[in-house]
Chains A and B, each alone.
Chain A
Amino acid sequence: DTGVSQNPRHKITKRGQNVTFRCDPISEHNRLYWYRQTLGQGPEFLTYFQNEAQLEKSRLLSDRFSAERPKGSFSTLEIQRTEQGDSAMYLCASSRRGAINEKLFFGSGTQLSVL
């Protein structure tokens, strides 16, 4: 059973550039989540998918952010026109809807630094 996989592990970009992150969830998990974590804080929910449908987006997710899960498997998170305030760890997680206990499993994250 492979865990949640994220890449790249680190991304350094200049302000104004676009970046895209990829997440591969645990294979039998139908729910996929994106969270963001800044230093000294707990993760904050951004958005989640059930299969290919994006069911909810946080108010934190400005219109510069877009997430997709085209075939209900992997997901991508794109940030357009990055700003220094976007610097954070972006975490992907997955769970299985309908499981007796819907435990959330996280990937190792993508650390974004915007210069």
Chain B
Amino acid sequence: GIQVEQSPPDLILQEGANSTLRCNFSDSVNNLQWFHQNPWGQLINLFYIPSGTKQNGRLSATTVATERYSLLYISSSQTTDSGVYFCAGSTGTASKLTFGTGTRLQVTL
């Protein structure tokens, strides 16, 4: 199966700072998604982005499919952005996803 590497593993930011999270895949994926797991454990889908760029408020994501990586940008971070960010991918179209180990983000005042 595919391998998913995420970096950095941990990140501490002050409120208002920007950050970039990266996800590398060992093989091409047809289905790539980003999730935020909040401190209460709920997984929230942020983006479905097998290629291209999408934006949703302060968050945006870019996937370069030919180079097998994806980036998640968080701008003007807020304390509510704290939690773990996962990227996940699948070589098929179904969401039988392989997850990375996540980036743990802490946003402080």
Q: Which residues of A contact B (CB under 8 A)?
A: 31, 33, 40-45, 48, 50, 55-56, 89, 91, 93, 95, 97, 101-106, 108-109
Verify B33–A91 contact, CB threshold 8 A: no
Pairs A–B under 8 Å by Cβ, sample size 26: A33-B96, A40-B101, A42-B99, A42-B100, A43-B43, A43-B97, A44-B99, A45-B96, A48-B96, A56-B94, A56-B96, A89-B41, A91-B43, A93-B43, A93-B95, A95-B95, A101-B48, A102-B31, A102-B93, A103-B33, A104-B33, A106-B35, A106-B44, A106-B45, A108-B41, A109-B41
Identity of the chain B residue whose Cβ is nearest the Cβ of A95 in the assembled complex: B95
Q: Which residues of B contact A (CB under 8 A)?
A: 4, 31, 33, 35, 41-45, 48, 86, 88, 93-102
Verify A31–B94 contact, CB threshold 8 A: yes
* Nearest CB of chain B from residue A99's CB, rounded to whole Å: 9
What's the Cα separation between A105 and B86 when bound, in Å? Answer: 14
What's the Cα separation between A104 and B95 when bound, in Å? Answer: 7
What's the Cα separation between A63 and B96 when bound, in Å? Answer: 20
* Nearest CB of chain B from residue A54's CB, rounded to whole Å: 12
What's the Cα separation between A40 and B84 when bound, in Å? Answer: 10
* Nearest CB of chain B from residue A51's CB, rounded to whole Å: 13
* Nearest CB of chain B from residue A35's CB, rounded to whole Å: 8
Chain A residues whose CB sits within 8 angstroms of the CB of B45 once the complex forms: 103-106
What's the Cα separation between A108 and B43 when bound, in Å? Answer: 8
Chain A residues whose CB sits within 8 angstroms of the CB of B31 once the complex forms: 102
Chain B residues whose CB sits within 8 angstroms of the CB of A40 once the complex forms: 101
Chain B residues whose CB sits within 8 angstroms of the CB of A103 once the complex forms: 33, 45, 48, 95
What's the Cα separation between A43 and B35 when bound, in Å? Answer: 11
